[in-house]
Amino acid sequence: MLMSALLLRAGGASAQAANSKPESSSTLSTSPADFSDDQTFSQYQRVGAGIKPPRATHAPDPKFPALPPDAEQRGTVMLLVGVNTKGHVEAVRVLRSDEPAFEQSAVDTVKKWKFKPAEKNGQPVAVQVTVEMKFQK
């Protein structure tokens, strides 16, 4: 069964969908990742006090990639994602992965996600969020 779950830990919104395919799930977190030396993510604020987190409005399920028969049929990919002031994903970085075969599917999928932008003082702001995608056959 393919299942995608989106959870905003600091925002309180969730969405789920189910089909009859291998299972995948996604979780969005506003917990900070420390990449202060990473120029790509320096333009994205961390969600904290005074910032309303982004809310996913379109979060398609990742595709389960073709794997060799002897490969582990499950894995997790943790991504750092930069969401701009229009709610579009602009930057993606793989933070960690159990199985490299899942990384491209996770990156390609999160690039298609759309959000209601994060807000600070009622104005949209660019933020970074962490997304965890789990794959299991």
Domain limits, the chain = 2-136
Say if residues 76 and 130 touch (Cβ distance below 8 Å).
no
Q: Does the structure show a pLDDT above 50 at 15?
A: no
Distance spanning both ends of the chain, measured CA to CA: 8
Say if residues 53 and 127 touch (Cβ distance below 8 Å).
yes
pLDDT at 44: 94
pLDDT at 128: 94
> How sure is the predictor about 32, in pLDDT bands with cuts at 50, 70 and 90?
low
Mean pLDDT of 6-26: 39
Q: Which two tokens stand for residue 101?
A: 């075969």
CATH topology of domain 2-136: TolA/TonB C-terminal domain (3.30.2420)
pLDDT at 121: 96
pLDDT at 25: 57
pLDDT (tens digit, 9 = 90+) per residue, 44-90?
999 999 999 999 999 998 999 988 888 888 999 999 999 999 999 99
Residue 4 exposed, middle or buried by CB count within 10 Å (0-12, 13-18, 19+) = buried
In the 8-state DSSP scheme, what is residue 104?
Answer: H
